[in-house]
Amino acid sequence: MERAVAFYVDVLGCTVEKRRDDLGLVHLRAGASLIDLVTPDGPLGRQGGALPGAEGRNVDHLCLRVEPFDEAGIRALMARHGVALHGDVQNNFGAEGYGPSIYLSDPDGNTVELKGPAA
């Protein structure tokens, strides 16, 4: 859990909103949204089945809106933290229309999309 929290806070800029150790849950603030991280051995995690891996995932990906979308800055930040990016920036469709996006993986193998504003 602490490795995941550190990634989302130190690398992606989220903040810890609230901890629920009794549930094995950490709420992370990402702008106007929350990301809930759950330990696999806590009360909530035990309900969720297998952990993500090569043979299956519990979610396709998480998308975080980034503005301004500074490709060079994103690449430099990820390089400083040793985080590999999955390919080049692409113009992908999202909630606001087409715009730049790039993908990476969190420490547990979940895919994260960093999405810029629609063109």
pLDDT in tens, 47-97: 877 776 666 666 778 999 999 999 999 999 999 999 999 999 999 998 899
- Between CA 88 and CA 104 the distance in angstroms is 11
What pLDDT score was predicted for residue 41? Answer: 87
Cβ atoms 38, 110 nearer than 8 A: no
- Between CA 68 and CA 8 the distance in angstroms is 18
Per-residue pLDDT tens digits for 11-50: 999 999 999 999 999 999 999 999 999 998 888 888 877 7
Cβ atoms 75, 88 nearer than 8 A: no
Strands 62-65 and 111-115: parallel
- Between CA 7 and CA 118 the distance in angstroms is 26
What letter does residue 85 receive in the DSSP assignment?
A: B
- Between CA 18 and CA 28 the distance in angstroms is 7
What pLDDT score was predicted for residue 103? Answer: 97
